[in-house]
Structures are given as structure tokens and as C-alpha cells.
Amino acid sequence: MRKTISWSIGIYFIYVLFIIWYLFYFADTSIPKEFKGTSADPETFLTPREWMLSEQYSQMKNLLFFLAIPYDWLIYIVILVLGLSRKFQDWAKATTKWSALQTVVYLFWLSSLVTVFTLPLSFIAYRLAKEYGINTQTFSHWLKDEIINFWVNYVLMVIIVSVLYWLIRKFEKRWWLYAWLLSIPFIVFLTFIQPVVIDPLYNDFYPLRDKELETKILALAEQANIPAEHVFEVNMSEKTNALNAYVTGIGPNSRIVLWDTTLERLQEDEILFIMAHEMGHYVMKHIYWGVAGYVLLILIGLYATNKLMKWIIQRWGACLHIKNIKELNSLPLFLLLISLLSFSASPLVNAVSRYEEHAADQYAIELTKNTEAAVSAFQELTRAGLSQVNPPYLVKIFRYGHPTILERIVFLNTYE
């Protein structure tokens, strides 16, 4: 037990040193010579202080990202090796004889413990964004969001885990296939209700109050053959100074949403470009393609997880205090493998997302015919979010679902 934990902590420590070396000493984030002096060069649209702050903030934010994910893996390993997952299962069985309620009790203990250990990193991320002027939330509002997030995830986990382990116990050889089949309507349902049930738990949404701007946006939507009746804005200024807009939901619940910070800091023609970009996602059905892609990845992930769990339990089950895959205390191993596989697949997922975002940029330019507004919009996005114009390669492939600001502005400058 001590050997397993020592090796895990040692590997994590070496990984941390590598990430620090890579982000702070090795990675080159300077602008290539051929783009010096162009509108893609941050020296042309950021003050020296803004450029320095964007580099500092991005480095720290990237460091937290790369530390947080394997830190979760380390937590799951320690929970398994110390036998805590087995104890949680025993407590659940001692509390009630009902299998469904045992899952409720077990997940409460597991979720609470994981939250206790991950909350410090979340707080550091909050304080970092606060110090650099990105986050505007008070501590009480931040804590409220964390509590809401805990209970939303907990309720979803109870539903998913209850069904998952019922399938494992009933169909040990093919549980992954049946779980995948059930995941399809579940994902579609969540995507459908997210704009009207989940998102309003965190923020207030309402139709765009600037009716003159809404008229212009709806005229743009009509030009794109989109049957839109409203554009929604959300009060994000009480939480952040960053800018954003997005498309969410499917079917009649689909929405185009603007952050109020975007409305406050961007000019009208810049907002129209942003809206045209989001309309591009709608026209090209990127949300539907995204759902289909995730469904395919879930199939591959569940199949691989089934194989890996059985192999790991057969070889190291005694060390992990797991007798077979049917036991509820094997859940941390399931979550560990799912997280590992998700992280491994993230470069592919992000590459597809960057392709879609580039296609939406091109669509927006073809619709608005205004490259100057597009360039200035991206420059303001950089300034407001203190984003790196040219992030390190590893950061790009593991974190960026959008092309970099450098790539987006260079494309606009060369677009014909």
C-alpha cells in the first residue's frame, strides 16, 4: 500500500516539475517574425502592461489546468489503495438494505471527500482570476456556485451510477453496450433541457434588451435562413470581465446567448460578427455533430473501460480492495479510467472543435463582409480575458477548442 502511494505521488511530483519547466522555461509564446507589426501582434493592440499580465495569467491558469486533472487521478488511487472506497460501501450497506439508497449514501461520501480535496485548487483558480481582474465574483457568490455545482453533479451521478451498476450486475459481459445505448437519449435530453433548466441555476437569462441591436441580429439571422425570434443575454458581469457568446441546446430549446460584458465592451459591428459566428454553428449543425461525436467517444470509452477494469481488478484487485467489477466500491477505478481516456482523447476533440470554430469564423466573414470588425473583436477578446495570442503547443492541443487568436487574426488578414 505504501509502495503504491509513494510511487503515485513520486510520478505526480515529476510530472509537476516537467509542466513547470515546459510552461515557464521551455515554451516559446513569442510572435513569429512574419507577423510582427501586423494586427495579430499583441504589441499593436495591447499595452506593455496588458501583454505582461496576459502572459503571467495564462501561464498560471495553464499550470493549474495541467496540475488539476492528474491530481484527480491521484485522489482516486489513494481512495482505492487506502480502502476508503470499501469503507464507504460498507457504511452504505450498514445504513440501508435498499441497493438504490446504498448508491445515494456511497456517492455522498465519495463526492464529499473528492470535493474537500479538490476545493483548494478551485479556490486558487478563483483567487488568481480575481487578482488579475478577470473574476468579479464575491467569495460568497463563488461559494454558492460551487455548492450548486456539487449538488447538480451529485444528482446526475446518482442517476448515472445507479443505472450503470444495475447494468453491470445484470449484464456483466455486455453492460458497456447497454450503458452506451441508454446514454444516447440521456445526452440528448440533457442537451435539450440545459438552456431552460440547468443554466438558469447559475445565471439569469432574458431577451436582449437593446431592441435596435436585436432587430439587426434577427435580420442577420433571416439572411442566414435561421428561424430565430429572440437573442438572449446573460448577466455575467457580476462574475467576470471576460467576453463570450455561444449557441446552446437543441430543437425548440436552442438559444443564441450573449454575455452582457460582450454587449458593454464591443462595438455594434463587432457584436454582429460574433453573432454571425454563432449562427454559423447553427447553420452547419455543429451542436448535432458534437452530440454525435460524443456518443461515439462514449461507446469507445465504455468498451475500453470494461476491458481495463477487468484486467486491473484481476491483477491488482487485492491492492485496490476490489473483488470484482460488480462492487460499488470499484467506482473510483471507473472514474479514474474514464478521466484518463477523456484526457487522452482531448487533443482529437479539441482539433475537431477548432475546425468547427474556424468554419464558423469563415461563415461569419462571408455573412458580414467586415474583416476589420472581426479583427478588432478578437483583439478585445484578448484584452478582456488576458488570453495568450500564441499559446504553447501542448496548451493548444489539450486546452484550446478554438483556434488561437494569432491563427484567427492571421486568417482574417489573408482572407479574400
Residue 229 C-alpha cell reads as 425570434
- Going by C-beta distance under 8 Å and a sequence separation of 6 or more, which residues neighbour residue 377? 266, 270, 271, 273, 274
Q: What is the pTM of this model?
A: 0.88
Rounded distance, CA 287 to CA 249, Å? Answer: 8
Using alpha carbons, select from 304, 249, 311 the residue that is nearest to residue 282.
Answer: 249
- Ligand-binding annotation for 230, yes or no, is no
Q: Residue 415, by phi and psi: left (phi above 0), alpha (psi -120 to 50) or beta?
A: beta
- Give the three-state DSSP class for 393: helix
Task: Return the active site residues.
Answer: 278, 361
- The set of residues, in sequence order, having a beta carbon less than 8 Å from that of 394 and lying 6+ positions away, is 22, 27
**277 has binding-site annotation:** yes
Phi and psi at residue 21, to the nearest 5°: -60, -45
HSE, side-chain direction, 13 A CA sphere, residue 198: 17
User: What is the rounded distance in angstroms from the CA atom of residue 271 to the CA atom of residue 275?
Assistant: 6
Measuring CA to CA, how many Å separate 244 from each of 67, 220, 233, 323, 363?
A: 26, 19, 10, 48, 18
pLDDT at position 228 is 66
Contact 408, 361 (CB under 8 A): yes
CA–CA separation, 326 and 337 (whole Å): 16
State the DSSP code for 173. Answer: T
CATH number corresponding to 205-262+272-283 = 3.30.2010.10
User: Residue 225's pLDDT is what?
Assistant: 77
The per-residue pLDDT for 327 is: 92
327 is in an annotated binding site: no
Select from 90, 116, 110, 108 the least CA-distant residue to 155. Answer: 108
Measure the CA dihedral 115/120/123/124, to 10°.
-140
Per-domain residue ranges of the chain: 2-194+286-414, 205-262+272-283
Per-residue pLDDT of the chain (416 residues; tens, 9 = 90+): 778 888 889 999 999 999 999 999 999 899 999 999 999 999 999 999 999 999 999 999 999 999 999 999 999 999 999 999 999 999 999 998 888 899 999 999 999 999 999 999 999 999 999 999 999 999 999 999 999 999 999 999 999 999 999 999 999 889 999 999 999 998 888 877 777 777 887 888 888 888 888 888 888 888 877 776 778 888 888 888 888 887 777 666 677 788 889 999 999 999 999 989 988 988 898 888 988 999 999 999 999 999 999 999 999 888 899 999 999 999 999 999 999 999 999 999 999 999 999 999 999 999 999 999 999 999 999 999 999 999 999 999 999 999 999 999 999 998 86
The vertex-147 CA angle with 195 and 250, nearest 5°, equals 10
Q: Cell numbers at residue 250, please?
A: 437543441
pLDDT of residue 18: 96
DSSP of 290-352, one letter per residue? Answer: HHHHHHHHHHHHHHHHHHHHHHHHHHHHHHHT---TTSGGGHHHHHHHHHHHHHHHHHHHHHH
CA–CA distance, 22 with 392 (Å, rounded to integer): 9
Q: What is the pLDDT of residue 164?
A: 94
pLDDT on residue 209? 86
- Residue 404, C-alpha cell as written in the block: 488561437
Residue 225: which region, alpha, beta or left (left: phi > 0; alpha: psi -120 to 50)? Answer: left
Helix or strand or coil: residue 226?
coil
